[in-house]
Each structure stands twice: as structure tokens, then as C-alpha cells.
Amino acid sequence: MSKTPNELGSVHHNPPLEVIVHSELDAHHAAASELSNRFPNNDGSATIAVYFGHDGVELRKASKPNQRGYKVDFLSIDSRTGAGNLSRKQPLPKAIGQSTTSVLDVTAGFCADAFRLSMMGYQVTAIERSPVIATLVEDGLRRAKENEAFWSAFGLNFTFMRGDILSGLTPEPCDAVYLDPMFPPKRKKSALPPGPIQHIQSLVGFDIPNETAALFEKAFEVATKRVVVKRPTYAQQYHQKPAHVYEGKLVRYEVYLKPTH
């Protein structure tokens, strides 16, 4: 079924939001107040609803606020190792590097890649600039920490930060910086991808080329060994010829190495 950006909100950085609170948690009320003030729905035009409920924070369609939406659930990540979901034989960890210990994800989104890397044993810091997406991530982390066995096994390598390294946030240098630009769909009239990616696109829009270039340069400053850029398989290489490329079914990971002295 084809969908357009307008079904989940216009594609720009500050869409109006409908904020719904059915929770008694103080943290939920504080976050809801912040979002209401930052993304006011003065004219009732919001197409996205942020629902604060007893089971967590969800993104829902404002036109159907009682229907289940999307929430960040780290507990649902497949934790199989070996040939399973956490295998380092997959393209992403191959690109990150077997000798890498610390990773900085500067465009973390809902943190699916970042948290999975931390579950593989990398020390990961994830950064997300959208306050809406960050609110969902922080709520997902809150629920994950309530499961002590899960968090002690998989969460201790993971740190989450709100912000933007182009706007004053200065993280510590790390071995690898991971960059996942929000690329547009292959064809202008094609459907946006379903689920989490569609939500990110509707909330923050597509990356501006000049901004992405600045982010790439900043990533090279922070990385001590390599920068890894995620690209769709149909797109041209992001930068000059990468040192390595690891292909997946729909995306590839380009590795740009820091020069050694």
C-alpha cells in the first residue's frame, strides 16, 4: 500500500505534534510538557501523536490516537550470537572493525544499530538530535533497565546523548564513527519505507547534502581509526573511493580509514 509523507506528517524538522498523556510517571509528564511547548499543535493540524502510556511512549497517527503505534523496545532485539543477530560476521560489524572497541553513532535515530553493536561488545555512544525520537529512546532505555538481567548482560556498554556534533556537542574521540544519513527513496513517487524509518523521515526530514558533508568532516575529526557510512545499495558512493565496502541486501557500509602517520 503506497503512502506519502503527508500521512505521517510533513517532512521537516518541527512538525506540530498531538501529545497524549495516559501515564502517572513524572518523567512522562515532564517529557510531554517539553514536547507540547516545542511542537505546539495550535491549529489542530498535527498528523503525528506522541502517546505517553503505562506501557511506554509511542508514535501514533493523530487521526487514530487509540490505535497502537511504534515504540522503542530494546528487549525485543534478537540476542542470538554465533550465526544469529549478534554475529560479527554481518556487514555492519565487519565495517565497524574487529579491532574496534569504541563506536560513536552520530545519527542514531531509534538506536537499533547502535544498541545492537553494544550487544556485540562494542562500547557505544549514540547521539540523536530530534527531541521526539530521543524521548522514545530514553523511554525504551528506562524500560530496558527495569529488566536487570537484560541490562546487566547487554546494556552496560551503551550510552545515549541528545544533541548534535555540529551544534556544540563534543563527544570523546573514539575508534569508529558511524554515520547513517537519512537518504531519500529511490524513486520520488515510491512509498516511504514502513515502520521506524518512515517515522524518522516524517519527523526530521531527509539530510541536506551540505549538512551531511559537514557531519562527515566532523566525524573524521572525532574518529581515531575509521568512519563508516551507511548507504542504500542503489546510491553512488558517498565520498572518494572507500577503503572497504560491505554489502547487505538493501544497504552497504562504506569504510573510510584515517590516515596513519
User: So what's the pLDDT on residue 213?
Assistant: 86
- In Å, the largest CA–CA distance within the chain is 59
- Torsion angle of C-alpha atoms 63, 66, 72, 74, degrees rounded to 10: -160
**CA 204-181-114 angle, 5° bins:** 95
- The more confidently predicted of residues 180 and 12 is 180
Q: Whole-model pTM? A: 0.86
Domains and CATH numbers, the chain: 5-61 (no CATH), 74-257 (3.40.50.150)
Half-sphere exposure of 219 (CA within 13 A, CB side): 25
**What is the C-alpha to C-alpha distance for residues 12 and 15, in angstroms, rounded to an integer?**
6
pLDDT of residue 260: 75
DSSP summary character for residue 58: E
If you average pLDDT over residues 105-134, what whole number do you get?
95
Kindly report, residue by residue over 123-167, the tens digit of the pLDDT: 999 999 999 999 999 999 999 999 999 999 999 999 999 999 988
State the pLDDT at residue 113.
95
Query: Can you say how many angstroms the Cα of residue 19 is from the centroid of all Cα atoms in its chain?
Result: 21
pLDDT, tens digit, 9 for 90 and up, residues 165-179: 988 788 899 999 999
SS3 of the chain: helix, strand, coil, percent, to 5: 30, 25, 45
Q: Is 169 helix (H, G, I), strand (E, B) or coil?
A: coil
Work out the pLDDT band at 95, boundaries 50, 70, 90: very high
pLDDT band for position 234 (50/70/90)? confident
